[in-house]
Amino acid sequence: MKKVAIYGQSYNLTAKKEVQILLSVLKEKNIVAFFEEQFYNLLNEHDSLEKKYPTFSSFTDLNNSFDLMFTIGGDGTILRAVTYIRDLNIPILGINTGRLGFLATIPKTQIKEAVNLLLKKEYKVQERLLLSIKTSPEITALTEIDFALNEITIGRKNTTSIIGVKTYLNDEYLTNYWADGIIISTPTGSTGYSLSCNGPVILPNAKSLVITPIAPHNLNARPLVISDETSLQLEVNSREKDFFISLDSRMVTAPEHTKIFIKKATFSIKTILLSNQSFLQTLRSKLLWGEDIRNEPKL
């Protein structure tokens, strides 16, 4: 590992400390670091770094010469980092200064240990599928970044009334969801918004997607697991003239009766799983699945 990118979204004392630790370890290992420009300016605005570092400001500034991207923050930071990585095949490793951290899995107390494991190649690369979206008529904002790692959500806007989301799978009619909206989730996103709406947890390597209704008024509507090779077509009926489309945390407004086409993206994102970690271990610790007195060892 010779060259890495570093991305973050916000400044606080914790982030400052973790950045300093990371830079110290990278310097010790003779690894060159590039900062995302806005994050770099934010760090220097509050407390100047010890020296100047090269920066990047767009996905066009990155290329396959980068071995890795470190993110400083939570899962939301990784979702934003994906817009810089795109189809460049640069793996992402998240240092968790956020909350749960299903994607950002490196505790801030284990940065040096994580870098050492990377250098010893004691890790696995996980391929994570993304969703792509097209609309008719075309929405300009979606042509610039038309993919999502976690989920694509269709939701009501400026109203408390439910909306109807007519849903087709591979051109065959499924149903009309009457709800606050629906979530089309990847396995990665199954532990996010979809989970909070009673969707299932799906292992990262599962070749599946989930359709999860949000507060459905159809009493028999349930989350539906489908193949990731399925193409979806959606059309919204609303009392308001507009509804929203959200790609991870990026939101745009669409006019009623816009046709939405969703399918698996043509590229995937690589995340790093160190040898001392596993997804099941993350589930137990983050969702407290092991917190049951019946699981306590007998004395």
- Average pLDDT per run of 10 along the chain, which is 299 residues long? 93 78 94 95 81 93 96 92 94 87 87 94 94 95 92 90 95 96 97 94 94 92 96 92 92 93 97 89 79 63
> 141 and 74 in one domain?
no
> 214 and 143 in one domain?
yes
> 41 and 9 in one domain?
yes
E strand or H helix at 123, and its extent?
Answer: strand 123-136
Q: In this structure, what DSSP letter does residue 162 have?
A: -
Identify whether 299 is part of a domain: no
> 175 and 84 in one domain?
no
> 32 and 85 in one domain?
yes
Active-site residue, from 75, 171, 180, 242 = 75
> 151 and 111 in one domain?
no
> 118 and 75 in one domain?
yes
- Cβ–Cβ < 8 Å for 220, 161: no
CA 295 to chain centre: 32
Identify whether 207 is part of a domain: yes
Domain that holds residue 235: 130-266
> Residue 292 catalytic?
no
Identify whether 93 is part of a domain: yes
CB-based burial of residue 98 (10 Å sphere; 0-12 exposed, 13-18 middle, 19+ buried)? buried
- Token look-up 């694509």 returns 152
> 57 and 39 in one domain?
yes
Question: What's the total number of domains in the chain?
Answer: 2
> 52 and 148 in one domain?
no
> 134 and 24 in one domain?
no
> 113 and 135 in one domain?
no
Question: What local confidence, expressed as pLDDT, does residue 184 receive?
Answer: 98
Output the domain CATH number for residue 157: 2.60.200.30
Output the domain CATH number for residue 43: 3.40.50.10330
